[in-house]
Amino acid sequence: MKRFTRIAVGFAVISSTAAICAGKDIEDSTPTPMPILSTEISGSDLGFFMGAGPQMALLERLSELAQKRAVTPEVKSEAGMVLKEQTDAAVRLKTLAAARHVPVADEPEEAGKKILQSLGKLDGVQFDKAFLNAQGDANDALEASLDAGAGSTDGEIKAFAQAELQALTAEKERVRKLGL
């Protein structure tokens, strides 16, 4: 964020050039530092939040895309269920994180964005199969983060992660039954 400083009287030297300015707005090019996290959270719990947020966002985006592009009714239905589950879980995750003063990403990481771009180029049953594969990979990554959260000493984090692991297990079983 750039700040502007009003110089009321006198002279100011800006950068290495001896620009003289009196009574004018000048731009302060000093970068504003990032805020320091004010949290008592442990490293593994912080890792849980940093991993789960983008992974849930990826599952949401994958499901949104599948609802538009999937041709198999069962795949569209699965995408709708996952979208609802992940949207609800992301809200609970953000609430949990906010109570601990931890920011949570609501966008997929770069690798996830590339997966979404690749899927966007596919059509028909080829899309459906690629979506289910991408969903499976995203589920595996989310499962690793949830496993870390399930081992937390924070009771709320642990309960959230355990509940989401159960939901993820049910999701994986639904996908397995689709058999695409």
Number of neighbouring beta carbons within 10 Å of residue 138: 25
**Token pair 């009771």: residue:** 155
**Which H or E run contains 28?**
strand 25-28
At what angle are helices 110-119 and 43-69 packed, to 10 degrees? 10
Q: Per DSSP, what are the bridge partners of residue 21? A: none
pLDDT in tens, the chain (180 residues): 433 333 333 333 333 333 444 444 555 555 555 444 445 677 889 889 999 999 999 999 999 999 999 999 999 999 999 999 999 999 999 999 999 999 999 999 999 999 999 999 999 999 999 999 999 999 999 999 999 999 999 999 999 999 999 999 998 888 888 775
* pLDDT value at residue 14: 36
Instruction: Kindly list the structural domains of the chain, giving each domain's residue range(s) and its CATH number in brackets, ordered by start.
Output: 1-33 (no CATH), 43-178 (1.20.1260.10)
Q: List residues bridging with 25 in a β-sheet.
A: 6
pLDDT of residue 18: 39
- Three-class SS state of 35: coil
- The predicted pLDDT at position 43 comes to 81
